[in-house]
Amino acid sequence: NAGVTQTPKFRVLKTGQSMTLLCAQDMNHEYMYWYRQDPGMGLRLIHYSVGEGTTAKGEVPDGYNVSRLKKQNFLLGLESAAPSQTSVYFCASRLAGLVATYNEQFFGPGTRLTVL
Amino acid sequence: QKEVEQDPGPLSVPEGAIVSLNCTYSNSAFQYFMWYRQYSRKGPELLMYTYSSGNKEDGRFTAQVDKSSKYISLFIRDSQPSDSATYLCAMSLQGGSEKLVFGKGTKLTVNP
């Protein structure tokens, strides 16, 4: 089991460029999440998905789009990158359901993005 | 007022010290409380998980929840240099709740 993987690990963009971050999980999890982590700001939820074909906005969705065409993949897109989007991006996944322990989110290793 | 408050530190202790990490929260509906550990340049990973009030122990780690005070703690006994990491508290409204609310994390360094 690879768990949650993220591609790429590092990326440098110029302002206005676009890119897509890929998250893949092999644990058959229904829920998937995209966070950004900035110094002093903690983890902030960008978008999330509760199943294939569904997406929902999180705390800081502006400037990002997502798609969940396959259960195992969750894509995060930046259409026109801005320096304010320089951050470390984490993907996470978890099981669905009401069982308490299903709350555990499994995180990927992160993507370090710099926008110049 | 933020839903979850956590002192970012940094916290620096000598090896063998007892470490206390804390979070306060404002939403009394939170029922599930977690501590994640994040090593430098890695993703967070779940360390401890507790439900409602009380203590939970796992080796050198003890998680404590005081719902009446809206206060949770993580204690690390006999701290080791390998415990050096950022510790994030997280909480949710119910077992199947879609989202977790995270604290900002406390950076801990244990010096040999």
Touching check for B61 and chain A: CB below 8 Å? no
The full length of chain A comes to 116
Distance (Å, whole) CA B68 – CA B109: 31
Give the DSSP per-residue string, B2-52. -SEEE----EEEETT--EEEEEEES-TT--EEEEEEE-TTS--EEEEEEES
Contacts of B46 in chain A (CB under 8 A): 104-105
* The predicted structure's pLDDT at residue B57: 93
Closest-CA distance of chain B to residue A73, Å: 18
Touching check for A105 and chain B: CB below 8 Å? yes
* Average confidence (pLDDT) over B68-83: 96
* The predicted structure's pLDDT at residue A99: 64
Which residues between 52 and 81 in chain A have a beta carbon less than 8 angstroms from any beta carbon of chain B?
Answer: 56, 58
Residue B51 has pLDDT above 90, yes or no: no
Q: pLDDT class for B111, splitting at 50, 70, 90? A: very high
Do you find a cis peptide bond into A8, omega within 30 degrees of 0?
yes
The pLDDT tens digits of the residues spanning B15-41 come to 999 999 999 999 998 888 999 999 999
Contacts of A96 in chain B (CB under 8 A): 96
Q: pLDDT class for A83, splitting at 50, 70, 90? A: very high
